[in-house]
């Protein structure tokens, strides 16, 4: 009785053959699951012993890949035990190829997302929030397009013929997206090269200000007079940028003019007092220079330079520091009755005899 049931034919295969095929699929899937659990547990223990994040990403990808791919191969091997019409076999082969491609693309998406998040941890939160979603979406579309091309070519179609068939329409699309692609790759260049970050004070063209936001197409700069300047990323990528925040210090130079009646001792005293002033502020470095530089037309010129720490905020620390230095110099000269010169002209008239 049972043998008669097993020998019954259903879709060109006996019930027995269907049972064997189903058993192969279940058994193969179970073995893959056991292998996955056994290897995965040990790989996770090994990855936890390291400080790097890369091995954790690879282990996650392995966990996602092994079971899905193993289950597909088990199903394919099980179906090979059946008698299937050539037309149906061709369709099944294409379905397996499609499913396999989808699995691989999804795994690559997970890997890509993990690596991007790991890389963007070095950037500010605003920068990550503005750029990472677009980059993730763009690369995902690129992966799916590549996967679609792989599937279509394996289905027997010529990719080159399909692309050629786009003709003028494809050319028009390419021209339409050209500005967007230029902006995108300019943004990639800015993110990869990192010439500046949010919060940096930079000088670009005739503008000097603080970077407030870096977007996909434009960068927002706020100048010191509270003016917002929106700069296209493509212009930033192709221009010279001076990042003031990355200087080891901010150098301030200047000069004062003393009266020609000032004695040499008073000049030296002025120089000594200025050195004391520069040494008396916590934001100033100990590399100040003061020297008697020039006999000008109407004054004896004392030149000076000093450096302010690079970490100092321009509005709240740098400007008050400059003001402090200038006021202290003025107070010191007044207290010692040393006069500061202004443009004058003295005429000597020689009386004829």
For residue 83, the model assigns a pLDDT of 67
What fold is seen in the domain 249-335? Alpha-Beta Plaits (3.30.70)
Question: How many Cα neighbours within 13 Å face the side chain of 349?
Answer: 1
Which two three-digit tokens encode residue 133?
């979603």
* Across 38-42, 124-128, 149-153, least confident range: 124-128
Please name which of 237, 177, 229 lies closest in space to residue 201, comparing C-alpha atoms: 229
DSSP category for residue 305: E
- Those residues whose C-beta lies under 8 Å from the C-beta of residue 249, and which sit 6 or more positions away, are 285, 307, 308, 309, 310
Q: How confident is the model at residue 323 (pLDDT cuts 50, 70, 90)?
A: very high
* Architecture per CATH, 158-246: Roll (2.30)
| Measured CA distances, 170 to 166, 167, 250 (Å) | 5, 6, 53
- Those residues whose C-beta lies under 8 Å from the C-beta of residue 114, and which sit 6 or more positions away, are 57, 60
Between 153 and 318, whose confidence is greater? 318
Residue 130 burial (CB < 10 Å; 0-12/13-18/19+)? middle
Instruction: Please tell me the distance from the alpha carbon of residue 104 to that of residue 65, in angstroms, as a whole number.
Output: 8
Query: Once rounded to an integer, what is the mean pLDDT over residues 235-240?
Result: 85
Domain residue spans of the chain? 2-157, 158-246, 249-335
Q: Which H/E stretch holds residue 292?
A: strand 289-295
Q: What is the CA radius of gyration of the chain?
A: 38
Q: Which H/E stretch holds residue 241?
A: strand 241-243
Instruction: Please tell me the distance from the alpha carbon of residue 288 to that of residue 140, in angstroms, as a whole number.
Output: 55
User: Is the pLDDT confidence value at 175 over 70?
Assistant: no
pTM comes to 0.46
Residue 269 φ then ψ, to 5°: -65, -40
Q: How confident is the model at residue 290 (pLDDT cuts 50, 70, 90)?
A: very high
């Amino acid at each position: 009785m049972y043998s008669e049931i097993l020998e019954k034919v259903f879709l060109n295969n006996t019930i027995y053959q269907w049972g064997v095929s189903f058993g192969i699929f279940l058994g193969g899937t179970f073995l893959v699951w056991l292998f996955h659990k056994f290897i995965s547990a040990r790989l996770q223990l090994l990855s936890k012993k390291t400080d790097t994040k890369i091995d954790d990403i690879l282990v996650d990808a392995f966990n996602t890949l092994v079971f899905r791919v193993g289950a597909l191969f088990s199903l394919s091997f099980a179906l090979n035990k059946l008698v299937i019409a050539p037309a149906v076999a061709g369709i099944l082969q294409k379905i397996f190829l499609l499913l396999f491609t989808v699995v691989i693309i999804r795994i690559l998406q997970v890997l890509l997302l993990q690596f991007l998040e790991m890389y963007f941890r070095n950037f500010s939160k605003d920068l990550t929030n503005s750029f990472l979603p677009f980059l993730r979406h763009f690369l995902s579309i690129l992966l799916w397009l590549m996967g679609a091309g792989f599937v279509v070519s394996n289905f027997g179609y010529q990719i080159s013929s399909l692309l050629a068939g786009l003709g003028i329409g494809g050319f028009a699309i390419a021209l339409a997206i050209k500005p967007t692609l230029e902006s995108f790759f300019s943004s990639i260049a800015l993110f990869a090269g990192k010439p500046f970050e949010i919060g940096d004070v930079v000088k670009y063209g005739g503008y000097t200000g603080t970077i407030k936001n870096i977007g996909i197409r434009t960068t927002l700069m706020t100048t010191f007079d509270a003016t917002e300047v929106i700069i296209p990323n493509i212009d930033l990528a192709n221009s010279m940028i001076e990042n003031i925040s990355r200087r080891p210090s901010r150098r301030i130079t200047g000069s004062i003019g003393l009266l020609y009646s000032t004695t040499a001792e008073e000049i030296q005293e002025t120089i000594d007092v200025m050195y004391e002033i520069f040494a008396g502020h916590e934001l100033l470095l100990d590399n100040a220079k003061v020297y008697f530089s020039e006999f000008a037309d109407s004054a004896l010129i004392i030149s000076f330079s000093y450096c302010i720490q690079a970490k100092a905020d321009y509005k709240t620390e740098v400007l008050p520091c400059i003001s402090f230095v200038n006021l202290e110099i003025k107070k010191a000269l007044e207290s010692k009755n040393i006069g500061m010169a202004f443009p004058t002209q003295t005429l000597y008239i020689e009386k004829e005899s």
